[in-house]
Structure 1
């Protein structure tokens, strides 16, 4: 018997990932059932003690939550940088176009 169930960590992460991705749909139940079946099979097959499997699932869920928070923060940061960059480009394009013969079309009369 190993002290940590690495398979249970994967099971917990996969379950939490499915639950996060399937938010609002019945597919989250499939992930939960699959993780439970995998966890029980590890104990039933004698590969791990029950507390090893529970600890592994908890670690997996924690890792999945940390990864989700990091991913959301990264996406928010990228969106902020891109929106600022696009705003500057839009302003530069507007300044350039108002200096051309198109100015009467772009400025209010």
Structure 2
């Protein structure tokens, strides 16, 4: 991964306390897994940033390399990679996600 792309991804992650790389936008998710995480975050009334990976193939592939995680969506809290849909939903159900967001 080139330095410019790495910096762009890092800057996106740092732009909000909670940041989601997703397919589509929060108002118009383009996959069920992205929609699922958006629903969880909205239910928790979380202010979050997002990036539509369908709009930029470099970021779409780069984020997978950045985290060594093969799928999208990817959720970050305080700059830390949390996981994808299943992990986020499990954390929300256990109450762990609310605690992590603080």
Instruction: Tell me the TM-score normalized by structure 2.
Output: 0.30
Answer with 1 or 2: which has the greater Rg.
Answer: 1
Q: Name the one with the larger strand percent.
A: 2
Q: Name the one with the larger helix percent.
A: 1
